[in-house]
Structure 1
Amino acid sequence: MRPLLAVTLGDPAGIGPEITARTLADPESVRAARGLAVGDAAVLRRAAAVCGLDVEINAVTGLEQARFTEGVIDVLDLGIAGDDLAWGKVDATAGRSAIAAIETATRLCMDGAADAIVTSPINKEAIWAAGSKHLGHTEMLGELTGSTRHNTMFVVHGLKIFFTTRHMSLRNALDKLSKKVVEAAIHEAFTALKVFGEGEPRLAVAAVNPHGGENGNFGDEEIVSIAPAVEAACAAGLNVTGPIPADSVFHQGLQGRYDGVLSQYHDQGHIPAKTYDFDGTVSVTVGLPILRTSVDHGTAFDIAGTGKASPGAMAAAFRTAVDFAPYADRIRAEYGTAR
């Protein structure tokens, strides 16, 4: 049976409803999975109209009412936001809708009714205006699932990219690097590679300094933190290589030499992935007991409501969820007990 994917509309005032409508209307998506939009039917109808889609929006209150067929987009209607929201504006009602969609989709996965969540972008100011204290999707999903282990994995053309540090300044990221921190990140990345289908994972660890530090002449993070962490991981039996200069390690990974690359800070992993294929870079939240894939772009308020938004990233996130859906039980087994 085709997997069932719960696709949130994101912020109703942004491009999320548009890229969701285009993706779920695509016959290839229909053939690959049972896609269920989660959000407001009125919002989805408005999005389909501005995109010029000739589809029926089938508002449902339960999965038994969904049709999952070409020419129809099934939406689990939350009835929060209407079609009168201003495009491209921060709005507390839009924030409440976005939060409710995430909560509902998560519940479907936690209950076993859905195989994965695919999320559209939300606006932080809008969810804060609605009363949320979370920084974004990941933190919200962590609380909803009771997980504190969550991290980000990028998938781009088969290569999986992980992060030792993410949402902090570069200065703070460098200060945070230690043998203990890098070694823990290596083990988490290696576990994720196995959970997401790599039988005998090969992980590369990126250096932070030019030319890998040139034996300490361009910085000592490699000597003090990264190399000792790699050595400890190898001693534990993991197939890990590094530190490898960052100007070559991602190319090597994309060429198939490695299954995954551990980057040391946010932009180190984001830049090569998005430069290589912006729309094809998919964010997967690892460490949750459920499968969640996402676009890795924002709400694009500047073009919301114009029908111009490219659905490429959402289509890629949808396809990735289909590819990883067979691992749903493995994900739940690995991450459902380690909170």
Structure 2
Amino acid sequence: MTHHDNNPDTKPVGITLGDAAGIGPEIIIRLLAEGPAWPVVVYGDHGVLERTIKALDLADRLFINSYHRVDDIAWPLAKGAIAVVNRHSPLPDTVQPGVLNAHAGRAAYEYVCHATDDALAGKLRAVVTAPLNKAAMQLGGINYPGHTEILADRTGTAHFAMMLANQELRVILVTIHIPLVDVSPSLTIDKELQTIRLAYQACRHAGVTAPRVAVAGLNPHAGEHGKFGHEESDIIEPAIALARSEGINVSGPWPGDTIFMRARRGEFDIVVAQYHDQGLIPVKYLGVDEGVNVTVGLPFIRTSVDHGTAFDIAGKGIADAGSLKAAFNMALAMSGATPD
């Protein structure tokens, strides 16, 4: 791993710890033990990461260097060194793997905020996030439904969307963390159009020169000409027409029960799904190990694992770092990094 502090093109990737009681610390250490292809700074707790290194029997290969600011890091690091930035207070020893903890919930939020601020200041190439636990955050006094909303709020981003991607599918969501009963009332022509634009933008970032965007209908059979609902004719179709007038190659609305199969066969580069489970079930069914969560529309690249904190296996040394590795590699690709 090489890094030169006088070269802005080799800014580090920031990885946030997530909830310290979940599998975030383990999958981060497993990733870094492989020797990532780009410099990394972890936003998290020194003690938690040090204990994780010992628990995984990696103390002979890895050690922690702590910093208050990313500017304080002298690159390149010594072999086996992990740069950790923490502007939050150290976590107490009461944080235990697999147990909800208010301190861990609050700290997870703070790590995301600090990485976001540094990315906005141009100090990071991208941000990769390990999983949060919403219940723990709420115990810590933070009430957000997930990473996406924290990042959008912190950056003042009005138009954003959540995209899940793996080797076979890219799916972007019109609505994210809201009750199913609220999906239809929240759909608007503008929201559909903005999501189609973000889908196009995400594909361009991923290296697709002429993206083919497909939009899923909300209702069975995409409404079937009004028999099963009018959202398609009143909202989705007008948005598609507007996007086409802007030069975007977009089609639909297509029935939700076949659109993902068609995308896997190569007909489309990305699917616009109307709500959370419509879009995420097909991606996660293909396996969470290689799935990546991307927040599209932010002023910097942000990727994440597509799984949760997995409290049931936290601290047992069996967590798979595959999704984090995929998220890290996608962050490099989307940010145009060229590893040595």
Task: Spell out the pairing of 1:1-339 with structure 2 (5 A cutoff).
Answer: 4-27=12-35, 29=36, 32-54=37-59, 55-61=61-67, 62=70, 63-65=72-74, 67-68=76-77, 71-78=80-87, 80-157=90-167, 159-326=169-336
The share of aligned pairs that are identical, in percent, is 39
- Greater mean alpha carbon deviation, residues 265-274 or residues 47-56: 47-56
Query: Which structure has more helix as a fraction of its residues?
Result: 1
> Could you list the per-position Cα deviations for residues 103-144 of structure 1 after superposition, in whole angstroms to 9, with x for gaps in the alignment?
221232122221011111112232233332433322222232
3-state SS in 2 of match to 1:243:
strand
CA distance in 2, matches of 1:178, 1:110: 30
3-state SS in 2 of match to 1:256:
coil
CA distance in 2, matches of 1:76, 1:66: 14
Give yes or no for contact 1:80–1:96 (8 Å, CA) kept in 2.
no
> Could you list the per-position Cα deviations for residues 28-50 of structure 1 after superposition, in whole angstroms to 9, with x for gaps in the alignment?
x2xx2112222111100111222
Closer/same/farther in 2, CA of residues 178 and 325 from structure 1, 3 Å limit: closer
Displacement of 1:283 in angstroms is: 0.7
Counterpart AA for 2:207: G
Give yes or no for contact 2:66–2:85 (8 Å, CA) kept in 1.
yes
Give yes or no for contact 2:11–2:123 (8 Å, CA) kept in 1.
no
CA distance in 2, matches of 1:271, 1:59: 40
> Could you list the per-position Cα deviations for residues 87-111 of structure 1 after superposition, in whole angstroms to 9, with x for gaps in the alignment?
2222222123212321221232122
Closer/same/farther in 2, CA of residues 133 and 247 from structure 1, 3 Å limit: closer
Closer/same/farther in 2, CA of residues 127 and 235 from structure 1, 3 Å limit: same
Displacement of 1:270 in angstroms is: 0.2
Aligned length, in residue pairs: 324
CA distance in 1, matches of 2:202, 2:306: 19
- Greater mean alpha carbon deviation, residues 239-248 or residues 141-150: 141-150
Give yes or no for contact 2:17–2:108 (8 Å, CA) kept in 1.
yes
Give yes or no for contact 1:67–1:74 (8 Å, CA) kept in 2.
no
3-state SS in 2 of match to 1:36:
strand
CA RMSD of aligned residues (A): 2.3
3-state SS in 2 of match to 1:241:
strand
CA distance in 2, matches of 1:321, 1:259: 18
Give yes or no for contact 1:80–1:93 (8 Å, CA) kept in 2.
no
CA distance in 1, matches of 2:77, 2:286: 34
Q: Which runs of 5+ in 1 are unaligned?
A: 328-339
3-state SS in 1 of match to 2:258:
helix
Give yes or no for contact 2:198–2:296 (8 Å, CA) kept in 1.
no
Question: TM-score of the superposition, structure 1-length normalised?
Answer: 0.87
